[in-house]
Structure 1
Amino acid sequence: MTSNGRRWGALAALTLAVTLLAVDGTVLALAVPALTADLAPTSNQLLWIGDVYSFALAGLLISMGTLADRIGRKRLLLIGVTGFGAASLLAAFAPGPGWLIAARALLGVAGATLMPSTLSLVRNIFPEPRRRTRAIAIWSAGASGGAALGPLAGGLLLEHFWWGSVFVINVPIMLLVLVAVAVLVPESRDPAPGRFDPLSALLSVAAIVPLVWAVKDAAHSGVSASVLAAALAGLAAGTWFVRRQRRLASPLIDVTLFARPAFSGTVAASVIAVFAFSGLLFFFSQYLQLVRGYSPLQAGLRELPLTLASIAVVVVAVRVMTRLGVGRALGLSLLVTAAGFVVLTAGEGAGGYGVLALGLIVIGLGVGIAFTASTDAILASVPPERAGSASAVSEMAYELGVATGIALLGTLHTMLYRAWLPDLSALPGTVRTAVEESLASASQALNGDALLAGAREAFADAMQVTSAVAAVLLVIAGVLAWKLVPRHAGPAASPEAGRHEAGEHEAGEHEAGEVVGTIRPM
């Protein structure tokens, strides 16, 4: 294998790892009906099963990203791959909701070692700006495509196996990733990392986890003394963390980056976009099964246009970003995604599948470019030796968006569903509780009762409102990116860097066929 071929082979291995992580983040949505029937979780436990993976991941990303810079990104990636496979087995054979929540938390811990490692390795394997952007586009296609591929993979498995199979499948794939990374991926680290500060690592967790928990619990149960206490504790830890980073010679994160509108605007737009995307996706698979009546496999196949569109857009992502610039490409792609959500809102209230498919295609096209543009802008803002910590910020934005999106949009949907249910006063208490819990439990409790049609209608109406809210949030994120993120983000914003990138344009276009030819066999 040539040196150049080895680089693209390494990218394929890293993309496979992040694709599996993204699949794991959404595959569970399709398994909710089967999981509910087997483990009988409460609505709060069900949200925790969906949320805790992202909570644990987000809380540890900063520490793991900086640790990767110090001990070696490849080494940490190999450790994370092994841990992810082991945690997958624990989740697959969970005997109850509590066990599954704990196993999902362990998956999040392992995922925190994987996400920044893969992205920072991509940053260092491809130091040239144009090749880096193309590599990030492929990596992002793995992330966005994997998120959308989760329902299809879940549908194929659930058609023939029990719900735990969506976790068992992780093990052989992680073994393949383990071998490919060990053989193809070069090691890299910060040559002068400085001292790792354990207190900063602890403060980063103490800041993020309580704040996210407070948002989730307030959305589900309302504002309480425990919610306020958690929020204040998180804010206090965050303030301490920021002050400490300003004083340290080797901080976990260069917090001065957030003073730059380009950087902070990109991060904010990313959080809002992922919030809208993931919060709705979590319930869309349930909508297809429980309202439209599709089997898990049929539902997964009907989400396939989103997957194909988000992967196909990698072919044009670099050209779009070159022509429009990072800021306008990011802003426009988020507005396109918002338009897709508007179409989806109309489709959820209409019969047939065509309008839904059109909405999914538009969303996939927008999301594919948005993920590439935001990730590239964040990574371009730091030198290669700090790629781990920058990758952690990028992934933290993604995971915080996932966690809070499921929590807040999921809670909004649940509240609307309960508010719009038909009169349940004639039902026995246990049956009424099951119907109010979720549509999945209502489908079992009512078992064809005439009230089930009313429950399905309430679920669909709630989905329409949630989709509309997601569209509004995406418009806000798009405007934010258009206004704050410049044409060239980070060090590339200098005139010299701009001329250098322009000089690479012709060579970069020549590489496109080579890249596609290398990846196509995968």
Structure 2
Amino acid sequence: MNSKIAEPPGTPADTQPRRLRWLALAVLVLAVLLVGIDATVLGLAAPFLSEDLRPSSTQLLWIGDVYSFVIAGLLVSMGSLGDRIGRKKLLLTGSVAFGAISVLTAYAHSSEAMILWRALMGVAGATLMPSTLALIRNLFHDPRERSLAVGIWGAMTAAGTAVGPVVGGFLLEHYWWGSVFLINLPVMAVLVVVGIKLLPESKNPAPGPWDLPSVGLSMVGIIAVVYAVKEGAAYGFRWDVAVAAVAGLTALWGFVRRQLRLPHPLLDMRLFAHRGFTGAVLADLLTILGLSGLVFFLSQFLQMVQSRSPFEAGLAELPAALGSVTAGLLAGWAARRTSVRAAVSGGLAAVGLALGACVWLQATTGYLLLGSVLLVVGIGAGLAFTVTADVILSSVPKEQAGAASAVSETAYELGAALGIALLGSVVTGVYRSFTTPPGVPEATAEQARHSLGEAVETAHHVPGAAGERLLTAAQDTFTEGLRLGAGVGAAILLAASVLAWYLLKGQRLGEIPEEE
């Protein structure tokens, strides 16, 4: 049974005027632009957060990844909810909530408050991405048009990562750190006001009830597993890590069993019987897992190791976003001229090799190498992510577009959370190991080991050459940790490239299963 899209009277879903489809897409990409901006400004703001809120290194990691934890735990539930109550309704409601919580985040008065507001922002953010992709699936029925629409969607996600650091850097140089979250408000306002008039509604006409036990199992399982990975990587085996791991895996096992028994599951597990769907989801998860640790710490490296201003650091990161935008727009053409697996595997291999080049990174590394690495990373990631998004959307009936989109975004966010947890713990683990320089009290060095931002602040209060030695030791050890994290990320990306080559064999864009 085909889902219906609410339109003007007498206008069938499949014959909606072409102009209205593309105007609706323009509104949808505002939502992903919003999420892209929010994901990148935090990295730039981290040094200012460290100075003002004085978080520990663990709290700083939680501020960075609690958003991804919560959004990953709720995406499947929210995607399924959108299929039931209407994707437009969920998107606009979530946008209003996202904007309101952005204001609270901007005025957070402590590390604990910051973590709480970022978590609630994740709840609102979980409504945005699945809704946009699902609406695209229902707006564009022609495979070539849909490929271009998905390419534009991916390009705007990358554009958000480009706009975020530049605008965020400008704001950080002229205002306080909370201003970077307030830039969400004008984008959200345009999205809601225009979206009410322009976006068509769509949902599954016979979805069945929204299963709350499945919602709980999904969220508990994902958050508990990611917590166990994060804490285990940072501090080794502890009883709370073991409890979280067992609880999370048990909850996920219960979630899968429940979905297989329910007549109207929250997530139809039969989607994973399609090898192309499974391959695309795994490629997304491993790619962002390998990338996220580097991305999260790169802004800190540019500012606190290479002494760039926030605005200069934002400009320095532009090649990645520009490469991703260009590759996203050309991804459908490239996949048809070669093959899906060549496009995805080639993109992932390029990212892996670029990350591999970072194992030679030094505090004095020139921008020519850094800019080239970021450009290749952007091109490879833009190519791979856009093609896998198209494969995921075209592998399912449109009634299940919300759930399938949510699986795609869950893989992305779960990869981000795991990447920051694993690779972030590698970087911070190496960083905490730096030797106390001569002339620096051990208590002072211990304080500097909390985070690189803390080291910069502490070194300013240590007189003479001892302060310089403390700062140099912290910067060199942080760079060493970044090199190791980049090497691990490169290995993950190259493994993902091989896996995608195998799982995406024979996959073509526009393969849509028969619908009843």
Q: Same fold (TM over 0.5)?
A: yes
* 1:510 aligned residue: none
CA distance in 2, matches of 1:308, 1:328: 22
RMSD: 1.9
Aligned ranges for residues 67-146 of structure 1 at < 5 Å?
67-146=81-160
* 1:467 aligned residue: 486
Query: 1:170-224 CA deviation, whole Å, 9 max, x = no partner?
Result: 1121101111211221110111112221111111112111111111111122121
**2:301 equivalent to 1:287:** yes
* 2:458 aligned residue: 445
1:324 to partner: Cα distance: 2.1
Contact 1:157 1:166 (C-alpha < 8 Å) held by counterparts: yes
CA distance in 2, matches of 1:363, 1:491: 26
Counterpart of 1:365 (choices 373, 376, 379) is 379
Aligned CA distance change for structure 1 residues 430 and 90 (closer, same or farther; 3 Å)? farther
Counterpart of 1:213 in 2: which secondary structure?
A: helix
Q: Structure 2-normalised TM-score?
A: 0.92
CA distance in 2, matches of 1:220, 1:98: 19
1:4 to partner: Cα distance: 1.5
* 1:151 aligned residue: 165
1:412 to partner: Cα distance: 0.1
What amino acid is the match of 2:450? E
Query: 1:271-295 CA deviation, whole Å, 9 max, x = no partner?
Result: 1100111211000000000111100
Contact 1:334 1:367 (C-alpha < 8 Å) held by counterparts: yes
Contact 2:390 2:509 (C-alpha < 8 Å) held by counterparts: no
CA distance in 1, matches of 2:219, 2:483: 35
Contact 1:348 1:463 (C-alpha < 8 Å) held by counterparts: no
1:486 to partner: Cα distance: 2.8
Contact 2:228 2:242 (C-alpha < 8 Å) held by counterparts: yes
* 1:481 aligned residue: 500
**2:79 equivalent to 1:62:** no
* 2:8 aligned residue: none
Contact 2:57 2:428 (C-alpha < 8 Å) held by counterparts: no
Contact 2:70 2:119 (C-alpha < 8 Å) held by counterparts: yes
Aligned ranges for residues 299-378 of structure 1 at < 5 Å?
299-348=313-362, 351-378=365-392
1:386 to partner: Cα distance: 0.6
* 2:179 aligned residue: 165
Counterpart of 1:44 (choices 58, 66, 69) is 58
1:3 to partner: Cα distance: 2.3
1:489 to partner: Cα distance: 5.4
**2:253 equivalent to 1:239:** yes
Counterpart of 1:217 (choices 231, 251, 259) is 231
CA distance in 2, matches of 1:96, 1:238: 33
Counterpart of 2:266 in 1: which secondary structure?
A: coil
Counterpart of 2:279 (choices 265, 288, 296) is 265
Counterpart of 2:511 in 1: which secondary structure?
A: helix
Any stretches of 5+ residues in structure 2 without a counterpart? 1-15, 461-466
Query: 1:463-496 CA deviation, whole Å, 9 max, x = no partner?
Result: 12211211111100011001111332598178x9
CA distance in 1, matches of 2:162, 2:286: 18
CA distance in 1, matches of 2:59, 2:325: 33
1:350 to partner: Cα distance: 5.3
Q: Structure 1-normalised TM-score?
A: 0.91
* 2:5 aligned residue: none
**2:436 equivalent to 1:423:** yes
* 2:464 aligned residue: none
Counterpart of 1:187 in 2: which secondary structure?
A: coil
**2:241 equivalent to 1:256:** no
**2:217 equivalent to 1:203:** yes
Contact 1:62 1:389 (C-alpha < 8 Å) held by counterparts: yes
Contact 1:382 1:490 (C-alpha < 8 Å) held by counterparts: no
Any stretches of 5+ residues in structure 1 without a counterpart? 498-522
**2:445 equivalent to 1:432:** yes
